[in-house]
Structure 1
Amino acid sequence: MIQYDASQRTITLNTHRTSYQMKIHSTGVLLHTYYGPRLRGGDLSRLICPEDRGFSPNPDEVGLDRTWSLDTQPQEYSSSGVGDFRLPSLEADLDDGSHTADFRYVRHTVEEGKYALEGLPAFYGEGVTAQTLTVELKDCCSGLTVELLYGVLEEYDLITRAVRVRNDGAAPVRLTRVASACLDFPVGEHDFITLGGAYAREREPVRAALSQGVHTAGSVRGSSSHQQNPFFVLCDKDTTEDAGRCWGMALVYSGNFLASMEHTQFHETRMTLGIHPFHFSWLLQPGETFTAPEAAMVFSAQGLGHMSRLFHRAIRLNLCRGPWKDQRRPILINNWEATLFHFDADKIYSIAKAASQVGVEMMVMDDGWFGERNDDFGGLGDWNVNEKKLPGGLAPLAERIQGLGMKFGIWVEPEMVNENSDLYRAHLDWAFQVPGRPVTRGRYQLVLDLTREEVKQYVLDNLRAMLRSAPISYVKWDMNRSLTDVWSAGLPSQRQGEVYHRFVLAVYEILEALHQEFPDLLIEGCSGGGGRFDCGMLYYTPQIWCSDNTDAMDRLRIQYGTSFCYPCASMGAHVSAVPNGLTHRSTPFHTRGVVAAAGTFGYELDLNELSQEELAQVREQIAAFRTDWELVMRGDYYRLSNPFRPEDSFCAWMHVSQDRSRALVGLVQTQRHANPVRPLLRLKGLDPERDYRIDGRIYGGDELMYAGLALPFLDECQALQYHIEAV
């Protein structure tokens, strides 16, 4: 997979369908020469044409040759302050006050298997063909050494990148920018796609033409955020869902990030992705190493859908871990939308009992079970059980629910604290707060300074005690505010720029400890819904609550956008009551079930309040999901329409088994007009040489995909499903 041509000094990374090439230039600069469809061989540096470009300076070693400039050379890891005026990959404040970085090739090694990162999540190579390339670059003046790590997972066409920066000099260095990946493209006109949005409408795809200048997406909220997602795509202007070239890149990280795309005066494009430089600095003493998060890259010549399916498989099978990564998750019911804070043990049991009678498998008790937690204003940080609500603690309730044949789950928000709590009154300095400044609240809460060892240990000890106290099978891990007042009493002033990143590392450390001690525990990530939906969290939590917005019509858009990178098996999706609490819209019960069945599936209501007709539908939905879960979780996912296009009257999607013998289509009518055009749906992913049965009729796979399926006229918000079987 990884080939080195000593005569040409090229290193080529080959996957099943793609090639990625770099070249060691005579100056020692590591040039990027190609990333695209797989090639048989060749030195692609021939595509780099020397030219005297005005105001592009020339390094000393090329003498009077004005045709060679770092400003015009495509690089694997771009320099800073020495003639390349495009986006730098690394910036540092050196001991002498300068801030230049000029990295040149030293050596490289190739190893079998996939590298791992210290204290950081990363894709792993078990079960697939994987290799690691390590390239060492050095800035001779400062002594800074950069190790570029490349992981190749051949079957998924996935290439990962990470960076280790080591101070081999004699003086301390302060890193102020460390990109995880830099990718240069030659002349071309491209579009870029980011996933924007807001709370309750996360991951909305935004596609725009790349014009001259720098275009960015990122977060400075301390998490990957509702507003932007650490995933983006560069594609040709004519790339569609099913055809055309596209390059996707995702950061395996859950904190502040910056994705940048620069289109230059020469119509070259540079993509960089990594930790956001906002309030970031890292003091690197001699001999110390800083490790940047991993970035994962996929190239597809078959459109955006194929790119997504490659990410889906790699994330599901080689990023998520533990026994739940490839198993059907328990069908659960959560009490939050049914009760808010107003419940006791008997109320939770009554919801569980009604749910057990229709086939629900797990009861999850949400916020309000601990401390003096009767509203948003208090209790966070006090993880002692509120025995007024739960006499005897968690164990009696958990055991009662187990007696119904159900598992028991619980909600926590361990990164936060209320001022009205015993913890805060005892340890005022355990929350982020800048000395001499008033606090900034979010949802009436502050953020615990997990960068301090004693705070991190307090959180971990309380979580361990909780999990040992009762038979708990599931934890919903929430985070309901962004980080502000980011200052740690545990670090000196010159290291305050490390706090944002150290906070994320501490969250990972706690999650890893729980993963090791409770390997069968299913953790669902959450941050006000989808505010921390990223590859970093999926390494520890194989599913994430997709959004606090459970309205079925809005969820069509949220789940559509999420699918650009993340698999359906990772999307927490529930049937909730109507009118919906956020949109005040009422949708048919069947529609809510069809939409939720495209994710992990569960319920967010009190079944005691449903009619007999609705309870019958619940039984049908649960039976169907048990039949279809393997298609949804392990099958290939196809987007059949775009719910953001005003001209599309319906939203449709499709799951297809790996052997193409079964498929499941979901469809919701999103708008209806008088005298409508007959709707037609073209399916995808089937075998054109096979016949398929739909509702008792036989169709050719070719006619279903190329001619299409005529749809019935549906009312607005009405849904249908097609179960498709090969004959």
Structure 2
Amino acid sequence: MRKPCLSCLLLSSILLACSGLLAQQKIDVHTRNMSLVLTIGPNGKLYQSYLGTRVAVSSTPSDTLVESYAQGGGSYLFEPAIRIVHADGNPSLDLRVASWGTDSTDGNIRVTSIVMKDPVYPVTVVLELKSYVRENVITSGVRISHAEKEPVRVSNFASSMLHFHADSYWLTQWHGDWAREMQMDESRLTSGIKIIDSKLGTRADMYQTPAFLLSLNGKSTEETGEVLAGTLGWSGSFQLLFEVDEKDRLSVLPGMNPYASDYVLDPGKTLKTPEFIFTYSDGGRGRASRNLHDWARSYGVLDGKGPRMTLLNNWESTQFEFNEQKLDTLFSETRKLGADMFLLDDGWFGNKYPRNDDHTSLGDWQEDRAKLPHGIAMLEKDAAEKGVKFGIWVEPEMVSPKSELYGKHPEWVLKLPNRAENYFRNQLVLDLVNPAVQDFVFRTVDDLLTQHTGIAYLKWDCNRMMTNAYSPYLGSRQSNLYIDYVAGLYAVLERLRAKHPSVPMMLCSGGGGRTDYGALKYFTEFWPSDNTDAVERVYIQWGYSYFFPANTIACHITSWGKEPLKFRTDVAMMGRLGYDLDVSKMTEKELGFSQQALKDYRRLSAVIGQGDLYRLLAPYDAQRAALMYVDSDKKKAVLFGYVLHPRYGSVWAPVKLQGLDGARTYRVKEINRYPGTPAVLAEDGRTFTGEYLMKTGIGVLGKKELTSAVVEITAE
């Protein structure tokens, strides 16, 4: 053990003196309906005293039982929030509160910063808690720095550490794979550790989802129970850790995954963790979701309160096989359909290695002169003449081994030395830790948007995870790779948004591989799954709705699945509506129905995208589902009902609505009806009080499988 230096002894005495002055102070982190109370103990350490419904701070105990951000290497016996190995090999940390304060930035956001220091080693950890008062959401993150003479290793770095003491804990989580995203499981947490994590580097949501619901003192429902809803704003490897101790106390530690990531931190540098975003509700899951949606639209998503464009994508109708003449026809079909924009998908680039399949060309972002002899400029012009906007697909983080870029810069690729290259989707990951690669990715997208100002939308894809991952740029510091890659990605996105602040972008990753608020601050929406079968999409979109508002969830009508066009359309209208169909093959009746559906959606998209969501009947409970969106004034609502594959003889009771004004009168009208078919809603066109609709309900569910209804509800 090293002998402490005089300056460290001086710091120690100062911190101990400060601890005495700060002892037993309570730190109030609150929103309109939620309180998190921390206490500075007599020893200067930080403890959590209360988390739950909003209370007066004076009524909370001065609890000093559980540290709010426990450190490893000392006397703490469970999973620590942080662990550091100092330059001299000492693996301990002892944090004491040096100072704290709360600032209000805009009358709604309260930022509480708690500075903690080690009295012996020059290590500083700042815990930052942002409370969004109106939205009832708190975010938590830390900044770790030091002034030691040599680098230190940080091996645990949770974004938050929350503690609970309840009779029981029920964890709801989501998992899956390509085309099977958001499969829901619920289980009781018992003694020991439960971990939900990803080690994929990119496509963090490919197998496990960085979000959860935690129900306290029994299972929660949409309308009842205590619930903590949490999600991590991080696009890389993550870990959600839940530990129940011998006294049945639960600790929750969300953050970046420490797997293979002992972070080498230089003196004077800062390791910043991603934000953990959470809300508490004592009124069930629905209220928790609405809190997160309110926060997301104001703070978590780019242009969260702005309109979204409907679109026609060409992938299913052409895949890689298109040319200027075909695209010109598709522009006309976009206009004929009534969508706002045409989106050109994969296959438009590469010359030495033309992109005619998914084996080549990533990295060579020049127009394919054979397919597009007049380039993107001609496409912009043609689309504008047809009265539609133009969008385009890119995958700038990836490279094909068969590409000019790979031939010029093999050192720009993540791959192990002395090992065979490992491919997924016939491609490799560019080393975004390398500043030269960051510049290349930035220029790729910036050149597109600067040279082609008519591009109104980008679909940003990322079709593989990291395997055999090794950064030539990092050299001996390979354990920094998983964290520094995501930091490099965010650095590129920051630069792009500084120069192109408002171009809408879809966050896509081989389906729902990236669905997180770390990236969504740069994007307007995300692609939840490549599986567009409408029945499957009911479940997938339902799962994402717990954490993300409807205007962030891109939902397309495609030919995947055998459901009727009306059913597919009604399911896609739950989110941001789009099409990926060959319009030329539509019958006159199908086209007319779709044109009217787009008009109705455009008219009601503000209610769907900005309204309060009420999930009324869950598809997990029976082969039917119902949900509704209600605007903030309770004057307009949109109700969706779906019958999936019920058993023979199933009978559905009226669906009781929520979120309306009980004293008002509302007219209910079924819209989006397919030509020549009767209304599902028996009460179509009638008026009812809000109280009646919420206590008695209406018959929005049909009798046959794969039937659906959309009901517009308007205050008289």
Answer yes or no: is the 8 Å Cα contact 1:132–1:150 preserved in 2.
yes
CA displacement at 1:667 relative to structure 2: 1.2
1:337 aligns to 2:316 (yes or no): yes
Q: Which residue is 2:185 aligned to? A: 206
Please give the secondary structure, in 1, of the residue aligned with 2:449. Answer: helix
Cα distance in structure 2, aligned partners of 1:196 and 1:338: 30
User: 1:475-520, CA deviations, whole angstroms, 9 ceiling, x for partnerless residues?
Assistant: 0000001111221111221x11111111111111222222121223
1:312 aligns to 2:293 (yes or no): yes
CA displacement at 1:187 relative to structure 2: 4.4
Q: 2:153 aligned to 174, 178, 195, which one? A: 174
User: 1:129-156, CA deviations, whole angstroms, 9 ceiling, x for partnerless residues?
Assistant: 1121111111223321110011111001
1:524 aligns to 2:506 (yes or no): yes
1:675 aligns to 2:654 (yes or no): no
User: 1:209-230, CA deviations, whole angstroms, 9 ceiling, x for partnerless residues?
Assistant: 1111111111111132221121
Q: 2:584 aligned to 605, 608, 619, which one? A: 608
Cα distance in structure 2, aligned partners of 1:373 and 1:110: 54
Structure 1 range deviating more: 36-45 or 609-618: 36-45
Aligned length in residues: 675
**Counterpart mapping for 1:47-58 below 5 A:** none
**Counterpart mapping for 1:378-457 below 5 A:** 378-457=360-439
Q: 2:41 aligned to 4, 13, 25, which one? A: 25
Q: Which residue is 1:153 aligned to? A: 132
Please give the secondary structure, in 2, of the residue aligned with 1:492. Answer: coil
1:79 aligns to 2:53 (yes or no): no
Q: Which residue is 1:686 aligned to? A: 660
Q: Which residue is 1:235 aligned to? A: 215
Superposition TM-score, scaled by structure 1 size? 0.91
Q: In structure 2, give the amino acid aligned to 1:720.
A: A
Q: Which residue is 1:492 aligned to? A: 475
User: 1:569-594, CA deviations, whole angstroms, 9 ceiling, x for partnerless residues?
Assistant: 100111112xx1xxxx3111111111
Q: In structure 1, give the amino acid aligned to 2:49.
A: T
Answer yes or no: is the 8 Å Cα contact 1:334–1:605 preserved in 2.
yes
CA displacement at 1:186 relative to structure 2: 2.4
CA displacement at 1:277 relative to structure 2: 0.4
Please give the secondary structure, in 2, of the residue aligned with 1:22. Answer: strand
Q: Which residue is 1:259 aligned to? A: 240
Q: Which segments of 5 or more consecutive residues in structure 2 lack a partner in the other structure?
A: 1-20, 669-683
Cα distance in structure 2, aligned partners of 1:675 and 1:432: 57
Q: Which residue is 1:68 aligned to? A: none
CA displacement at 1:674 relative to structure 2: 2.5
Cα distance in structure 2, aligned partners of 1:664 and 1:395: 40
Q: Which residue is 1:297 aligned to? A: 278
Cα distance in structure 2, aligned partners of 1:593 and 1:424: 42
Superposition TM-score, scaled by structure 2 size? 0.92
Q: In structure 2, give the amino acid aligned to 1:15.
A: T
Cα distance in structure 2, aligned partners of 1:711 and 1:625: 18
Q: 1:279 aligned to 234, 248, 260, which one? A: 260
1:98 aligns to 2:90 (yes or no): yes
Q: Which residue is 1:629 aligned to? A: 605
Q: Which residue is 2:640 aligned to? A: 666
Cα distance in structure 1, aligned partners of 2:497 and 2:149: 39
Cα distance in structure 1, aligned partners of 2:547 and 2:207: 16
Cα distance in structure 2, aligned partners of 1:260 and 1:271: 6
CA displacement at 1:668 relative to structure 2: 1.2
Q: 1:559 aligned to 529, 541, 544, which one? A: 541
CA displacement at 1:41 relative to structure 2: 3.0
Cα distance in structure 1, aligned partners of 2:692 and 2:196: 41
Q: Which residue is 1:130 aligned to? A: 109
Q: Which residue is 1:121 aligned to? A: none
Q: Which residue is 2:698 aligned to? A: 709
Structure 1 range deviating more: 544-553 or 196-205: 196-205
Q: In structure 1, give the amino acid aligned to 2:514.
A: R
Q: Which residue is 1:640 aligned to? A: 616
Q: Which residue is 2:715 aligned to? A: 726
Answer yes or no: is the 8 Å Cα contact 1:187–1:266 preserved in 2.
no
Q: Which residue is 2:199 aligned to? A: 220
User: 1:448-474, CA deviations, whole angstroms, 9 ceiling, x for partnerless residues?
Assistant: 111111111112112222222321110
Answer yes or no: is the 8 Å Cα contact 1:203–1:226 preserved in 2.
no
Cα distance in structure 2, aligned partners of 1:633 and 1:456: 34
Cα distance in structure 2, aligned partners of 1:8 and 1:455: 50
Answer yes or no: is the 8 Å Cα contact 1:203–1:227 preserved in 2.
no
CA displacement at 1:711 relative to structure 2: 4.3
Q: In structure 1, give the amino acid aligned to 2:73.
A: G
Q: Which segments of 5 or more consecutive residues in structure 1 lack a partner in the other structure?
A: 49-72, 114-125
Please give the secondary structure, in 1, of the residue aligned with 2:278. Answer: strand
Answer yes or no: is the 8 Å Cα contact 1:411–1:477 preserved in 2.
yes
State percent identity of aligned pairs: 32
Answer yes or no: is the 8 Å Cα contact 2:24–2:41 preserved in 1.
no
CA displacement at 1:287 relative to structure 2: 2.4
1:477 aligns to 2:471 (yes or no): no
Cα distance in structure 1, aligned partners of 2:430 and 2:590: 43
CA displacement at 1:46 relative to structure 2: 5.0
1:510 aligns to 2:492 (yes or no): yes
Q: In structure 1, give the amino acid aligned to 2:291.
A: L
Cα distance in structure 1, aligned partners of 2:701 and 2:499: 53
Change (3 A) 1:258 1:231: same
Cα distance in structure 2, aligned partners of 1:268 and 1:314: 29
User: 1:240-284, CA deviations, whole angstroms, 9 ceiling, x for partnerless residues?
Assistant: 111111112211111111001111111000000111001112222
Please give the secondary structure, in 2, of the residue aligned with 1:601. Answer: strand
Structure 1 range deviating more: 145-154 or 75-84: 75-84
Cα distance in structure 2, aligned partners of 1:24 and 1:43: 16
Change (3 A) 1:725 1:92: same
CA displacement at 1:427 relative to structure 2: 1.3
Answer yes or no: is the 8 Å Cα contact 1:679–1:713 preserved in 2.
no
Change (3 A) 1:6 1:448: closer
Change (3 A) 1:426 1:527: same
Q: Which residue is 2:332 aligned to? A: 353
CA displacement at 1:698 relative to structure 2: 1.7
Q: Which residue is 1:41 aligned to? A: 57
Q: Which residue is 1:288 aligned to? A: 269
CA displacement at 1:8 relative to structure 2: 4.4
Cα distance in structure 1, aligned partners of 2:427 and 2:385: 36
Cα distance in structure 2, aligned partners of 1:541 and 1:140: 43
Q: In structure 2, give the amino acid aligned to 1:232.
A: F
Change (3 A) 1:31 1:515: same
Q: Which residue is 2:357 aligned to? A: 375
Please give the secondary structure, in 1, of the residue aligned with 2:455. Answer: coil
Answer yes or no: is the 8 Å Cα contact 2:334–2:388 preserved in 1.
no
Q: Which residue is 2:251 aligned to? A: 270
Cα distance in structure 1, aligned partners of 2:24 and 2:95: 20
Please give the secondary structure, in 1, of the residue aligned with 2:691. Answer: helix
Cα distance in structure 2, aligned partners of 1:41 and 1:31: 14
Cα distance in structure 1, aligned partners of 2:201 and 2:329: 39
Structure 1 range deviating more: 160-169 or 185-194: 185-194
Structure 1 range deviating more: 17-26 or 35-44: 35-44
Answer yes or no: is the 8 Å Cα contact 2:87–2:148 preserved in 1.
no
Answer yes or no: is the 8 Å Cα contact 1:193–1:234 preserved in 2.
yes
Q: In structure 1, give the amino acid aligned to 2:569.
A: G
